Amino acid sequence: RSLFEKLHLPHGKKGKTGVYSTSIDELNRLREYHPAIDKIIEYRALAKLDSTYALGLQDKIGEDGRIRTTFTQAMTNTGRLSSTEPNLQNIPVRSSDGGRIRECFIAPEGKVLVDADYSQIELRLLAAMSRDEVMTDAFIKGDDIHKRTAMKVFGTDMENVTPKQRAMAKTVNFSIIYGISEYGLSNDLQISFGEAKQLIEDYGKQFPGITGYLESLKAEGEKLGYVETLFGRRRELPELRSQNRNLKNFGYRVAMNTPIQGTAADIIKIAMNRVYRALKNELPGAKLVMQVHDELIVECDEKDGPAAQDILKREMEDAMELSVPLVADVHTGKNWLEAK
């Protein structure tokens, strides 16, 4: 209320309670109008960290000092594992304050955590499944994929790509998988609707294999009523029979995303089985203790850290043979932040 009545900032729509919304989208819209907005956003982020993680996780610590989560196989539509009571898959990592929560997860005395993370697995799958020559070639050569995209979309040489152009290309790369609209991209990049529309069109011209593949997924989903991962796991799409435009558009986005994200989920489960068996045979003292979507964490004796790294990298990268290489980045540390 103070924002709109005392500071007279431009308000948006009223929520269900009859007061003007102060959602994160609204606050982001208001940032340019008053310096207090950034402080409110920062406060909310810290309050969330405090209540959900700093305080919330304390109640879940067992007598032996460990926190145990429950993994569920059939909770998500894409096939990813979900983690509940507590959810350990949403421990923040992008902000420095969020990273401090990961720092609290510490290996026992004499042990280390070995963390392996698939590098850009969804983009690699997009390149392989679409057979787009430009993106496939970039991954085979080991190019910086976001720089390569920026070079193609903005029509410049690799060495002349600016950090801003690379950041924009990165957003477009990941947004394309989720079937983002011109409106959504303009919001994400803080550019005009027309610029976002042009960016998506230019991307389509430079990566015709990708846009053609995504369109084929939409058509296939509409024709069959479902889409599948590379391993044949199916997701039904009743939304594509809906007369509601928003619901149908959601169905189209799901049709484009599920084969990619779902195949990534299948691959990590294959990798988990491979890692479990390899550790049992080669490093029986080591244990696979955590999975966070594209990331696996092993706890082992300090002396076994290098061997555990080798096993994780080998088993994850060999989980499936594609036209582009799967790459796992592996690090070791005494705590989760250090190992990440």
DSSP 188-208: HHT--HHHHHHHHHHHHHH-H
Mean pLDDT of 257-285: 97
pLDDT band at 45 (very low <50, low <70, confident <90, very high): confident
pLDDT band at 17 (very low <50, low <70, confident <90, very high): low
pLDDT at 139: 95
The number of beta carbons lying within 10 Å of the beta carbon of residue 187 is 16
Residue 273, pLDDT > 70, answer yes
Mean pLDDT of 296-323: 98
CA–CA–CA angle 228, 229, 235 (5° rounding): 40
The alpha carbon dihedral of 132, 134, 140, 144 has a sign of negative
pLDDT 10s digits, 154-210 = 988 988 999 999 999 999 998 888 777 888 888 888 888 888 888 888 888 889 999
The pTM for the full model equals 0.86
| Mean predicted lDDT score pLDDT of the chain | 90
pLDDT band at 5 (very low <50, low <70, confident <90, very high): low
The number of beta carbons lying within 10 Å of the beta carbon of residue 296 is 25
Q: Which of 199-208, 213-222, 239-248, 265-274 has the lowest mean pLDDT?
A: 199-208
Helices (H) and strands (E) in the chain, counts: 13, 8
Mean pLDDT of 20-44: 77
Quote the CA–CA distance of 159 and 58 in Å, as a whole number.
Answer: 48
Quote the CA–CA distance of 199 and 160 in Å, as a whole number.
Answer: 18
pLDDT at 91: 84
Mean pLDDT of 148-153: 90
Residue 12, pLDDT > 70, answer no
Q: Which 8-state DSSP code applies to residue 322?
A: -
Mean pLDDT of 278-295: 96
pLDDT at 13: 65
